[in-house]
């Protein structure tokens, strides 16, 4: 009898093991990411969904592109980053992602990224720029007449500031001009060569630069473009840049404009052999452009002029 019961028990045990192997585990293997938005601290939109582009970026694996809020995504556990791309409420600008741009998802858990927007009326934005100084090889100099030798460079420093909701990163476009007036010398003309070195335009503290292009008389002049400046016929050079600038931060912008015959990190140089005694007059100014700017009157700096004599 005992042997019979023992056989039955063994059979039941085997059956239970086999059944456990066939039944899937109920332990979750994924988590949930919710993405919502607020406008001036209130959930947006108040009903339905709102168009906004963002990316959910895992430590490993493919990114997820979001196109609306609110929305939810089933994802693998791990660390995820939420990055705003574009869109959102009209007449508003993006501020940040709360509680953090990076959060961890656990199996069976869920997290929420909140995209925070603020209307221009609630927190007006403004960008301003002002001339600080000319520099020769990085040393501040007042307007005047100076000698430029091989591998020297002429730089300009500007002060740039943006205001708005605390913590916001605003997209600011800047156009800086340099009027190049060849006053004369041994030759009737001088050649200007576009370098457009990325490091020629920088900020302190460092800011994220989105784009940069040099132009000559308003026409794009990528690296290796050349133009002749004739005596007493000024040529207008400029550089167009776009930045992500944080509100409440005072930036010092440095622009390495010109060198001769060459300095690595400049926008333009004077190639080849330049005879001694050539004289150039440089006049500079700059303007910023910010969507929704509440005070356009401080968008441009004043003009400043410096005279350079080239000495090989």
pLDDT in tens, 106-134: 999 999 999 999 999 999 999 999 999 99
Averaged pLDDT, 201-218? 97
Architecture of domain 126-310: Sandwich (2.60)
Q: Where are the domains of the chain?
A: 31-119, 126-310
Percent of the chain clearing pLDDT 90 (strictly above): 83
Do 247 and 165 meet the contact criterion of CB atoms below 8 Å apart?
yes
Instruction: State phi, psi for 53 to the nearest 5 degrees.
Output: -105, 135
Kind of pairing, strands 152-163 and 250-260?
antiparallel
With cut-offs at 50, 70 and 90, classify the pLDDT of residue 19.
very low
C-alpha to C-alpha distance for 161 and 253, rounded to whole angstroms: 10
Q: How far apart are the first and last CA of the chain?
A: 114
Averaged pLDDT, 145-149? 94
- 31-119 and 126-310 in the same fold: yes
pLDDT number for residue 17: 43
Six token digits for residue 284: 């500079």
Q: Which residues of 216-231 are buried (b: 16+ CB within 10 A; e: fewer)?
A: beeeebeeebebebee
pLDDT number for residue 272: 77
With cut-offs at 50, 70 and 90, classify the pLDDT of residue 27.
confident
Burial (CB count within 10 angstroms: exposed 0-12, middle 13-18, buried 19+), residue 133: middle
pLDDT tens track for 59-113: 999 999 999 999 999 999 999 999 999 999 999 999 999 999 999 999 999 999 9
Q: Is the pLDDT of residue 7 over 70?
A: no
Burial (CB count within 10 angstroms: exposed 0-12, middle 13-18, buried 19+), residue 61: exposed
The fold of the 31-119 domain, in CATH, is: Immunoglobulin-like (2.60.40)
């Amino acid at each position: 009898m005992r042997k019979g019961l023992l056989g039955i028990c063994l059979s039941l045990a085997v059956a239970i093991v086999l059944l456990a192997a066939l039944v899937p585990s109920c332990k979750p293997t994924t988590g949930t990411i919710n993405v919502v938005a607020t406008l001036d601290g209130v959930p947006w939109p108040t009903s339905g969904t709102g168009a906004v582009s963002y990316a959910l970026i895992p430590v490993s694996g493919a990114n997820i592109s979001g196109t609306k809020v609110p929305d939810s995504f089933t994802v693998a556990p791990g660390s995820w980053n939420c990055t705003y791309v574009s869109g959102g409420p009209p007449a508003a600008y993006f501020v940040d992602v709360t509680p953090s741009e990076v959060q961890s998802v656990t199996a069976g858990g869920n997290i929420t990224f909140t995209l925070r927007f603020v209307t221009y009326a609630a927190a007006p934005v403004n960008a301003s720029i002002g001339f600080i100084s000319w520099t020769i090889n990085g040393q501040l100099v007042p307007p005047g007449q100076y000698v430029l030798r091989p591998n020297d460079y002429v730089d300009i420093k500007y002060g740039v500031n943006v205001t708005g909701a605390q913590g916001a990163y605003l997209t600011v476009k800047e156009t800086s001009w340099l009027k190049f007036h060849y006053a004369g010398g041994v030759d009737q003309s001088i050649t200007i060569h576009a370098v457009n070195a990325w490091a020629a335009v920088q900020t302190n503290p460092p800011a994220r630069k989105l784009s940069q292009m040099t132009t000559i008389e308003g026409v794009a002049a990528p690296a290796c473009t050349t133009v002749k400046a004739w005596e007493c016929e000024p040529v207008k050079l400029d550089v167009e840049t776009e930045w992500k600038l944080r509100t409440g931060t005072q930036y010092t912008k440095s622009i390495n404009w010109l060198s001769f015959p060459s300095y690595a990190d400049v926008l333009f140089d004077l190639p080849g052999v330049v005879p001694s005694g050539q004289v150039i007059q440089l006049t500079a100014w700059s303007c910023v452009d910010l969507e929704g700017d509440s005070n356009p009157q401080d968008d441009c700096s004043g003009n400043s002029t410096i005279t350079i004599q080239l000495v090989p």
